[in-house]
Amino acid sequence: MAFWWPLLVLLFAYAICRFLLMLIPPNVPSIDVDVSDVCNDEVNFGFKVRISSRDTGKTMIDASLGEIMTTCEKIHWLLSEGEKWLKPEYRSSGKSMLHKRSKVEYHPLGVIGAIVSWNYPFHNIFNPMLAAVFSGNGIVIKVSEHASWSGCFYFRIIQTALAAVGAPENLVDVITGFAETGEALVSSVDKIIFVGSPGVGKKIMRKASETLIPVTLELGGKDAFIVCEDVDVEHVAQVAVRAGLQSSGQNCAGAERFYVHRDVYNAFVAQVVKIVKSVTAGPPLAGKCDMGAICMQDHVEKLQSLVIDALDKGAEIAGRGRFGNLGTDAVDQFFPPTVLVNVNHSMLIMQEEAFGPIMPIMKVSSDEEAIRLANDSRFGLGCAVFSRSQSRARRIASQLHCGIAAINDFASNYMCQSLPFGGVKDSGFGRFAGIEGLRACCLVKSVVEDRWWPYVKTKIPKPIQYPVADHAFEFQQTLVETLYGLNIWDRLRALVNVIKVLTEHNSPSAGSSRRSD
């Protein structure tokens, strides 16, 4: 028995401390609200009302009964004297209840559908597959019609791996087809993941709206590459060329706009041109080359039109790479790496996603100008910022409207699969990889339960049990002040009033007086 007493005292002290901590209001700044013109428009006070002008002044009318509720002067009093009810402190709902325990559960959605592009056929299959399976879902992946062979090849590897661990053979499926196949897939799954163009992404969203399934879109980008004047030009130029020419520029997170400080602009351009001129584009099986083909033949024409538009508007070609070992039938599959200077934002090359080996380099005079120009885009996937001062590079990157940022590096985010990957604006929404990518494949469920069930149970206070008591509003008012008062003294005073209201109306005399009524 002697052992239980100290334990009970400690538990009681803990409960009192938790209760007192609950009474301490958060340190949130208050706001002032201008209500001088509140009577000129419709107002909502928890019921539908309208304000109308009468000879007797402006009045508030209950729309459900057509009766005048109160005059506008009374509304002014409510909003001025009751201004504290509008302060942010009263909107805080994050306080935990002493007798409750809360948690968040993540449940599989069911079957995930993924429609992926052709430019990285291996990763575009395995990335959504791993997220779906590791979060407990099955998945059906429609590969691009331009990557059907490789998609089926990888699917055989996946089937073998599933069989090796005893997983269901239909846990993952890979399908091929055209637009009709993708449309049917969107109509048949519990979530859709799409990697592709903004135009097709909008069609996916429209189709998904019919069944109201969640959507993740990764729609490409126009990533900015910002170079400050304090960098090692030779080092950054090598990174820049890799960022622009990797996969022949057919990279959603590739650098497509280069903003270089004027103090190092000429040196940077000279170094980039020197590197690009040494780059050979050609078929890798036919001999040594540095850069491969453009996968879509008609896309070469798009790239050429972007260059011509820039030249017509005043840009210049500072340097180009060369071809190597091309057969007569393969010329249209390749596009020489190209460096453009004297570019500006009136040119399509600075606005449209090129998805090719073109490096437009623009001179800037300050960090602020670089930030403004980088944000002047309908895309917002990633960015890269280079400066000897990491804090400066971080400050610049933090002001860019995009989903991923690399400081003194290029696209290293993609190598960190613990990080979420995705963009904003026309680059889409939602995230792959990381915790965010896994949870995006889940039903997020919040759960609250009694902490000491069945000894302490939820009970509706007597004044607000149906039918509500005459003093229900008074009780609710004091209870709200107890939980959300502006300071601890207001809350303690309101707590005393809550107890007072309960005891007064639960007394025998109060009960007999109500019965006599």
Predicted confidence (pLDDT) per residue in 352-403, tens digit: 999 999 999 999 999 999 999 999 999 999 999 999 999 999 999 999 999 9
Q: Is 152 a catalytic residue?
A: no
CA distance 412 to 418: 12
Please indicate whether residue 234 is annotated as part of the active site: no
Q: How many helices (H) and strands (E) does the chain have?
A: 15, 22
Q: What is the pLDDT of residue 177?
A: 93
Name the band, by pLDDT with cuts 50, 70 and 90, for residue 66.
low
Confidence of residue 508 (pLDDT cuts 50, 70, 90): low
Report domain extents, the chain.
33-219+437-447, 223-417, 460-504
Question: Alpha-carbon torsion 77, 505, 469, 516, what sign?
Answer: negative
Q: Decide if 169 contacts 175 (C-beta within 8 A).
A: no
Q: Which amino acid, one-letter code, is at 328?
A: T
Of these residues, 39, 72, 218, 383, which one is catalytic? 218
Share of the chain above pLDDT 70, in %: 79
Tens of pLDDT, residue by residue over 430-474, are 998 899 999 999 999 999 988 888 888 888 888 888 898 888 888
pLDDT at 84 over 90: no
Do residues 404 and 384 lie in contact, with contact meaning Cβ atoms separated by under 8 Å?
Answer: no
Kindly give the interhelix angle for 198-208 and 179-186, rounded to the nearest 10 degrees.
Answer: 40
Say how far apart CA 400 and CA 355 lie, in whole Å.
21
Q: Give the span between the Cα atoms of 277 and 435, in whole angstroms.
A: 42
Gap between the Cα atoms of 125 and 157, Å rounded: 12
Two structure tokens written together for 91: 């909107």
For the structural domain made of 33-219+437-447, what CATH number should be given? 3.40.605.10
The whole-number pLDDT of residue 411 equals: 82
Say which residue the tokens 């325990």 belong to.
101
State the average pLDDT over residues 139-161: 94
Residue 186 Cα distances to 175, 194, 207, 230, 430, angstroms: 13, 10, 7, 49, 17
Provide the pLDDT for residue 148.
Answer: 93
**Residue 26 binned pLDDT confidence (cut-offs 50, 70, 90):** low
Neighbouring CB atoms inside 10 A of 29's CB total 7
Give the rounded distance of the alpha carbon of 396 from its chain centre: 20
Tell me what pLDDT residue 460 has: 83
Q: Quick one: pLDDT at residue 53?
A: 37
Specify the pLDDT at position 88.
Answer: 38
User: Does pLDDT of 90 surpass 80?
Assistant: no
Question: Burial code of 263-275, b = ≥16 C-beta within 10 A, e = fewer?
Answer: ebbeebbebbbeb
Q: How buried is 514 (Cβ within 10 angstroms: 0-12 exposed, 13-18 middle, 19+ buried)? A: exposed
* Per-residue confidence (pLDDT) for residue 393, from 0 to 100: 97
Give the separation between CA 411 and CA 405, rounded to whole angstroms: 8
Contact yes or no for 85/41 (Cβ under 8 A)? no
SS3 call for 318: strand
From 22-36, 248-262, 271-285, the region with the lowest mean pLDDT: 22-36
The residue among 224, 136, 175 whose CA lies nearest residue 441 is: 136
Spatial separation of the C-alpha atoms in residues 193 and 200, rounded to whole Å = 12
Q: Is the pLDDT of residue 217 over 60?
A: yes
pLDDT digits (tens, 9 = 90+) for 264-296: 999 999 999 999 999 998 888 777 889 988 988
pLDDT per position as a tens digit, 94-110: 445 667 888 999 999 99
Q: Inform me whether the pLDDT recorded for 328 exceeds 90.
A: no
Where helices occur in 349-487 by DSSP H, the ranges are 367-375, 390-398, 434-439, 472-484
User: What are the beta bridge partners of residue 428?
Assistant: 218
* Range of weakest confidence among 16-25, 113-122, 356-365, 373-382: 16-25
For residues 249 and 407, the answer to whether their CB atoms sit within 8 Å is: no
Q: Is the pLDDT of residue 345 over 70?
A: yes
What is residue 8's DSSP assignment? H
Report CA Rg, the chain: 32
**Could you tell me the pLDDT band of residue 484, with boundaries at 50, 70 and 90?**
confident
pLDDT at 169: 87
- Residue 475's pLDDT is 85
**CA-CA distance, 201 to 427, in Å (whole number)?**
10
What number is the average pLDDT over the span 479-487?
79
Mean pLDDT of 486-498: 82
Q: Which position among 39, 228, 252, 402 bears the catalytic label?
A: 252
Decide: pTM greater than 0.85.
Answer: no
| pLDDT range class, residue 483, cuts 50, 70, 90 | confident
What confidence score (pLDDT) does residue 412 get? 85
Tell me the CA distances in angstroms from 295 to 182, 356, 407, one per residue in order.
Answer: 21, 10, 30
pLDDT band at 51 (very low <50, low <70, confident <90, very high): very low
Could you tell me the pLDDT band of residue 30, with boundaries at 50, 70 and 90?
Answer: low
Tokens of 408: 């003194």
223-417 has which CATH code? Answer: 3.40.309.10
pLDDT at residue 64, rounded to an integer: 56
Res 376: pLDDT: 97
Task: Tell me how far apart the alpha carbons of residues 464 and 462 are, in angstroms, rounded to a whole number.
Answer: 6
Q: State residue 82's pLDDT score.
A: 46
